[in-house]
Structure 1
Amino acid sequence: MLPSGIQHDAIYILGVGSQTPVGRTHGSSAAAVRCGISAYAEHPFMLDKRGERIIVARASWLDDMMPMAERLSVLALDAAREALQPMTHSRVRSRIRLHLALSREGLGDQVRARQVADSLVSSLDGAPVDDEVAIVMDGHAGGFLAMKEAVEELRSGRSAACLVGGVDSYMTADRLEAIDFAGNLHSSHNTWGFTPGEGAGFCLMATGATVAELGLTPVAELQAVATAQEGQLLGTRTVCIGEGLTAAFRAVLGTGDRVHHTFCDLNGEIYRADEFGFALCRTSEHFVDATQFTAAAECWGDVGAASAQLALGLAVASWERGYAKGHTLLTWASSARGPLRGAAKIKQAVNPRQ
């Protein structure tokens, strides 16, 4: 018999973990965003094309010369461990499948991505994480695709639990220079660019049946997750009217759904703001107040492939700390240079022990 409030086939979030420039845990990162604390600062040595120090949001405890693959592995490790904490003393009988969102721009190919994934799994010593990792390399919204694949795997019974994460960083000379010369870097001469950041976010997911079997307490319920495609991309001679993001919103928001707050990856680029605005116009009936949203990039910078899971972590924290304004929250992200758009509807979980 299932505990009160837990549904057999529902998907629950059991734990979350974060590593960001404003905090080295889920709680500290969320508190910093809640307080509006920013990690924006001059890069120690990188200059833009006008000779000014590039403004970034970086993990200051990491070596600035650390290779990208190693940097991502280090960021991901502590966030993954934090998300796995509920499983520390559980009697889970099967391996946990890892679904990992990475950036093609940051790593270049599947070979280096596989190196990051293998390094992470080998470092999670003692955790029952399967060696076979499902990797997604699809930009900012890649984390939602990873979550979607994990949900399908859980509901099919192929895994008892899935660890879903995203990690990304812009902190290499090549990547910062590429952003600058493409005209996308925020600076005193380009107010519509974005500030490069870095971070990692993870969430541990399982069905209600597994939650009941292991006697765990969920922190949230993932009611729906969806992805969609946008045809009018950033940097092309077309006008984006938010069709892809609208499709993602409509796929997760059902009749009667009312969203109290949104957590998103808006980063200061006008394209992204316009896209969100058009999507809101088409789906306004689902929002209690469309102006109630959190864009954490103003604190930890643009976090690329880590966007989805870090946004989910903020939603969970708002319930944990008691400042959420409702029981239904929306998270979303748009891949910067690709067509993928993603969204998830999160509901406050019922505590079966109350």
Structure 2
Amino acid sequence: MNEEIDVLALGMATPLGLSSRATLAALRAGFAAHEEIDEVEDLSGESVTACRLEQPDPGSGRIERACFFASHALTELLSWQPWTSPPAVFLATPEPTQAQDFEAATLWTSLCRSFGHTSLASTTTMLPFGRAGLFHALAQARAQLCAGTIDLALVGGADSLVTTEDVQRLARANALLGKTNQDGLIPGEGAAFFLLARRGARAAVAAIEALALDREPEPRNTGAPPRAVGLTRAFAQVRVNQAARPDVVVTALPPQRWWGREFSHAYLRNAALMPEPLVTVAPSVALGDLGAAAGAVALGVGFWQLHPIVPRRGRTGLERALVYGCADEGTIGVCLLRSPRTNSEVS
């Protein structure tokens, strides 16, 4: 099954902006959320870098910070498209090996208290696949929407990797970008959510045209070199179902060599799928590694590639964006996002 589903609304919050428009405006202006974390040193004794918002308090925990960004993202989404009864919820959460101090149920309970159970369903389906979790959430939502089990789905993710404890843990593991690891990552935080419906919704602002899930047999956390077997297959699945080339590729991955080589292999094996010339966007360059929120933020960035933030005469958005994400443990997801056939601007 590869039926289309419609996107009715979205909301996104990051350290660069507490709405999707603010975030995208900052990204397009070339801003980055990098700041030095003086209270943590890497193995060389230097201060480390993270993409962290000073609000909430830097000493707050991972769930509290994730909830802060999720609240802003959901507030924006509700301003686009309120509902009368809560939609079914599908939430991307961290991979089990990266879920220290992250209780997804606690996160959702806190959000329900903030918004009320009339706005948010009290239960949610958790997809513990990190950067690839959003695509699994999309797949489950699509299956239930197309089966008629549900009428609306709320899909997204929220995470924060910048608490003092998390940054210290990454520093001890020499996982951070710095003198002792020039291919390390910069941790980040954020959230994004999407309201989805079956194909044919009048208020659609985009559509998920194709979706593919796969798994890398020898993922990054095994230490094996990137062979891109799973990503090649996932791209090929999308290629079979696509109507036209995408205009841009948006990745949920941090700018590390392993991920870059993996994409290069999969790209060369699926050149007919890719934009010509190749255009890629990596939100993590400015926002850091967003953990379980990475896929959702990448999809949000992909959406705004289709719609000019400031409409100008003679200037239209792109038609399609290919969005993908991979988890350290090997889970992979890819989707093709298409602008609505009316090509109307988002107001």
State whether TM-score is above 0.5. Answer: yes
Equivalent residues of 1:327, 1:348 under 8 A apart: yes
Q: 1:118 matched to which residue of 2?
A: 109
Aligned mates of 1:106, 1:133 — CA distance in 2: 20
User: Which structure 2 residues correspond to residues 1-354 of structure 1 after superposition, within 5 A?
Assistant: 10-88=4-82, 92=84, 94-103=85-94, 104-105=96-97, 107-108=99-100, 112-125=103-116, 127-209=118-200, 211-212=201-202, 217-254=203-240, 257-289=244-276, 291-321=278-308, 326-336=318-328, 338-351=329-342
Bigger drift between 307-316 and 121-130 goes to 121-130
Aligned mates of 2:266, 2:140 — CA distance in 1: 24
Equivalent residues of 2:131, 2:253 under 8 A apart: no
Aligned mates of 2:58, 2:52 — CA distance in 1: 9
SS of 2:122 mapped into structure 1 = strand
TM-score (norm 1): 0.88
Runs of 4+ in 1 over 6 A off after TM superposition: none
**Distance 1:351-1:128 versus aligned 2 partners, 3 A rule:** farther
Q: 1:3 matched to which residue of 2?
A: none
Percent of matched pairs sharing the same residue:
26
Equivalent residues of 2:252, 2:297 under 8 A apart: no
SS of 1:332 mapped into structure 2 = strand
Equivalent residues of 2:220, 2:330 under 8 A apart: no
Structure 2 unaligned blocks of 5 or more: none
Matching residue's letter, 1:37: F
SS of 1:135 mapped into structure 2 = strand
Bigger drift between 40-49 and 272-281 goes to 40-49
Give CA deviations for 1:75-132 in whole Å, capped at 9, x if unaligned.
11110221233332x5x4x43111111214554488x221111111222237533212
Matching residue's letter, 2:319: H
Equivalent residues of 1:261, 1:325 under 8 A apart: no
Give CA deviations for 1:144-168 in whole Å, capped at 9, x if unaligned.
1111111111111121111101111
Aligned Cα RMSD in Å?
A: 2.2
Equivalent residues of 1:100, 1:117 under 8 A apart: no
Question: How many equivalent residue pairs?
Answer: 336
**Distance 1:290-1:282 versus aligned 2 partners, 3 A rule:** farther
TM-score (norm 2): 0.90
Equivalent residues of 1:259, 1:286 under 8 A apart: yes
**Distance 1:83-1:253 versus aligned 2 partners, 3 A rule:** farther
Aligned mates of 2:61, 2:243 — CA distance in 1: 48
Equivalent residues of 1:106, 1:170 under 8 A apart: no
Aligned mates of 1:231, 1:326 — CA distance in 2: 34
Equivalent residues of 1:318, 1:324 under 8 A apart: no
Aligned mates of 2:198, 2:186 — CA distance in 1: 37
Aligned mates of 2:45, 2:172 — CA distance in 1: 13
**Distance 1:353-1:331 versus aligned 2 partners, 3 A rule:** closer
Equivalent residues of 1:19, 1:29 under 8 A apart: yes
